[in-house]
Amino acid sequence: MLKPVVDWDTCVGCGACAEVCPEVFQLKDDKAWVVGLEKCNTCNCQEAADICPVQAITVTEG
């Protein structure tokens, strides 16, 4: 199972991840939150990590 993790110290709250993968990411308090971890295998989590302008998202197997 893929596991996305957001580094809140790095995240700038641009929302790109939530646009690409709204099933997994949402913006709250100007930061990205993982809200649908169980859906990561069926969405674009890696694409969301790749387009993050500050590389605040990592996706690992876990």
The domains located in the chain, with CATH, are 2-61 (3.30.70.20)
Residue 31 bridge partners (DSSP): 28
Distances (CA, A) of 3 to 43, 51: 12, 17
Q: What is the pTM of this model?
A: 0.88
The neighbour count for residue 13, using CB atoms within 10 Å, is 14
Name the one residue in this structure whose structure tokens are 């646009």: 19
The neighbour count for residue 54, using CB atoms within 10 Å, is 11
**Where does residue 27 rank: exposed (0-12), middle (13-18), buried (19+ CB within 10 A)?**
middle
Kindly report, residue by residue over 12-48, the tens digit of the pLDDT.
999 999 999 999 999 999 999 999 887 766 677 899 9
Q: How confident is the model at residue 61 (pLDDT cuts 50, 70, 90)?
A: confident
